[in-house]
Structure 1
Amino acid sequence: MNSKSTSEVRERLLDTAEDLIYRTGISATGMDLLVKTSGVARKSIYTHFGTKDDLVEAVLRRRDERWMDWFRTEVRRAESPEAQLLALFTVLRQWFGSDGFRGCAFVNTAGETGDPDDPVRQVAREHKEKLLGFVREICLDFGADYPDALARQLLILIEGAINAAHLLGDPSYADDAQAMARALIRR
């Protein structure tokens, strides 16, 4: 197998596993389903990832990278730091209204593990730390008196909006969170 086809198989596995895990969860994404859905032999899965846990970790790391790149790019389109702080929620609302929105993949998968040292929980924690760091960057650009505190408060609003929109099926929770963010920014 040449490196191009090896890379294509790996990407197909990651794409398929990400879709299945996001839609149905880790536990419901068995190897038989992954083989059937991806069209890739079970042996190839183990060749590329070793274990299902390794595959899940790779899926989440790739999703983290892609989601954060997308989110940063969209939020940074706003012209000023204040507008970017509010755009956090405008961008989330767009995501909430998209086909297939099922909440935060990291919260969903972390909820399937009880061990705080589990690699899935580690990746989820790292994702939230990156998100917090990005929000903090904008708070610093904005010139907030207490950028760490404001970033943490905005992260709570972000997480609350994601979970409420997912569980209650209503994208407008992003609007409510944005109104609360506006009040925090102006105080």
Structure 2
Amino acid sequence: MAVAGELFYRNGIGSVGVDRIIEDAGVAKATLYKNFRSKDNLIHAYLNEKHDVTVVALTAIAASGQSAGEKIDGIFCYLEQLTQDQKFRGCAFVLAMAESPLPESPAYQWAHRHKAHVRGILSDILAKSVKRGQLDTVVEKMMILYDGALISSALQDSPAPIQFALEMAHHVLRQHAPRQRSLTE
């Protein structure tokens, strides 16, 4: 699975055939098909693994006893750590969906499932930190910053877009923060 995942991420899921995976992994075709049955099942396993790694990291950040702003810092710090890998190409789910835009494809389904999960984590983090009725708007803005930071960092081969996105995320938090009542009100 590790070889297939590396090949899918580096070369794209559409560019990597089962024969290439078998050759690079040094396994028999029968073994691969016994474990995965099809390339779609391999794609599913690859994206499931990517999803689990990300969700574990983001859930740990969300569970920390910090403020919403500090948790957002933690999320963007995690994204910045991803960009430090010399093989970083961007979000595996965005890359996979770009290659397989049909709703019935495993890549499309995983991309939507994964992004919905990330949205849920952000929603939990931000629920008590934004004005009433604005949570969905703020979460959507954060998702745009999250995805845009990953894409821009890959395109520029630089972590700088992550920092710019973090600055904008804090601006969004300030813009949508509940109004503080003064002691005289």
TM range (shorter): 0.7 to 0.9
Q: Could you tell me which amino acid in structure 1 is paired with residue 43 of structure 2?
A: V
Q: 2:117 maps to which residue?
A: 130
Q: Does 1:185 align with 2:173?
A: yes
**Displacement after TM superposition at 1:151 (Å):** 0.8
Aligned residues: 174
CA contact (8 A) 2:153 2:161 kept: yes
TM-score (normalizing by structure 2) = 0.87
Deviations 1:90-116 (A, max 9, x none): 221121122321101111011111312
Moved more, 74-83 or 61-70: 74-83
Deviations 1:34-68 (A, max 9, x none): 11211111111111111111111121112111221
Q: Does 1:112 align with 2:99?
A: yes
Q: 1:87 maps to which residue?
A: 74
Which secondary structure does the structure 2 equivalent of 1:142 belong to?
coil
Q: Does 1:152 align with 2:158?
A: no
Q: Does 1:166 align with 2:154?
A: yes
Moved more, 102-111 or 70-79: 70-79
CA contact (8 A) 2:4 2:46 kept: yes
Which secondary structure does the structure 1 equivalent of 2:139 belong to?
helix
Q: 1:18 maps to which residue?
A: 5
**Displacement after TM superposition at 1:141 (Å):** 4.2
CA contact (8 A) 1:74 1:91 kept: no
**Displacement after TM superposition at 1:148 (Å):** 1.6
Deviations 1:150-182 (A, max 9, x none): 111100000110100011111110110011111
Relative to 1, partners in 2 of residues 1:41 and 1:153: Cα closer, same or farther, differing over 3 Å?
same
Which secondary structure does the structure 1 equivalent of 2:99 belong to?
coil
Q: Identity of paired residues, percent? A: 28
CA contact (8 A) 2:58 2:121 kept: no
TM-score (normalizing by structure 1) = 0.86
- Rounded Cα–Cα distance in structure 2 between residues aligned with 1:25 and 1:17: 10
**Displacement after TM superposition at 1:77 (Å):** 4.5
Relative to 1, partners in 2 of residues 1:75 and 1:23: Cα closer, same or farther, differing over 3 Å?
farther
- Rounded Cα–Cα distance in structure 1 between residues aligned with 2:89 and 2:63: 24
**Displacement after TM superposition at 1:183 (Å):** 0.7
C-alpha RMSD over aligned residues? 1.6
Unaligned runs of 5+ in 2: 176-185
